[in-house]
Amino acid sequence: MTNSVPSLTLNNGVPIPQLGFGVFLIPPDETATAVTTALEAGYRLIDTAQGYRNEQGVGEAIARSDVSREEIFITTKLVNGQHGYDQALAAFDESMKRLGTDVLDLFLIHWPLPMFDKYVETWRALEQLLADGRVRSIGVSNFEIEHLQRLANETDITPALNQVELHPEFPQEELRAYHDSHGILTESWGPLGQSKGLLDDARVVEIAKKNERTAAQIVLRWHIQAGNVVIPKSITPHRIEENINIFDFELDETDMEPIAQLNVGRRLGPHPNAFDLV
Ligand code: NAD
Helices vs. strands in the chain: H and E counts, helices first:
10, 10
pLDDT of res. 1? 46
Task: Please say if the pLDDT value at position 2 is more than 90.
Answer: no
Residues 6+ apart with CB under 8 A from 20: 43, 44, 45, 46, 47, 73, 75, 229, 230, 231
Residue with CA nearest ligand 1 atom 11: 195
Residue 163 CB less than 6 A away from ligand 1: yes
The residue to mutate among 141, 165, 233, having the most atoms of ligand 1 within 8 angstroms of its beta carbon, is 233
Ligand 1 centre from 162 Cα, in Å? 17
pLDDT of 23-33, one tens digit each?
Answer: 999 999 999 99
Quote the mean pLDDT of the chain.
Answer: 97
Is ligand 1 within 6 A of the CB of residue 184?
Answer: no
DSSP state, 170? B
Cβ of 142 closer than 6 Å to ligand 1, yes or no, is: yes
- pLDDT tens digit string along 112-171? 999 999 999 999 999 999 999 999 999 999 999 999 999 999 999 999 999 999 999 999
- Percent of the chain past pLDDT 70, that is, above it, reads 99
Mean pLDDT of 12-16: 98
Q: Which atom of ligand 1 is closest in space to residue 188's alpha carbon?
A: 30
What is the distance in A from the centroid of ligand 1 to the CA of 136? 25
For ligand 1, mutation pick of 163, 164, 229, 234 (most atoms within 8 Å of CB): 234
Q: Which of 170, 119, 117, 155 is nearest to 140 (CA)?
A: 119
pLDDT at 245 over 60: yes
Q: Is the CB of 243 under 6 A from ligand 1?
A: yes
- Check if 195 has its Cβ closer than 6 Å to any atom of ligand 1: yes
Q: How far is the CA of 197 from the centre of ligand 1 (A)?
A: 13
Beta bridge partners of 187: 163, 229
- Give the pLDDT score at 94: 98
State the pLDDT confidence band at 3, using cuts at 50, 70 and 90.
Answer: low
pTM for this predicted structure: 0.98
- If DSSP states are collapsed to H, E and C, what string results for 28-64? HHHHHHHHHHHHHHCCCEEECCHHHCCHHHHHHHHHH
Atom of ligand 1 nearest to the CA of 48: 34
> Is 52 in the active site?
yes
45-93 pLDDT per residue, tens: 999 999 999 999 999 999 999 999 999 999 999 999 999 999 999 999 9
Q: Residue range 243-250: average pLDDT?
A: 98
- Smallest CA separation from ligand 1 atom 19, residue: 216
| pLDDT tens per residue across span 83-129 | 999 999 999 999 999 999 999 999 999 999 999 999 999 999 999 99
State the Cα torsion 227-229-234-240 to the nearest 10°. 70
Asked whether residue 262 carries a pLDDT value surpassing 50, the answer given is yes
Mutate to test the pocket of ligand 1, among 189, 219, 236 (most ligand atoms within 8 A of CB): 189
What is the average pLDDT across 170-179? 98
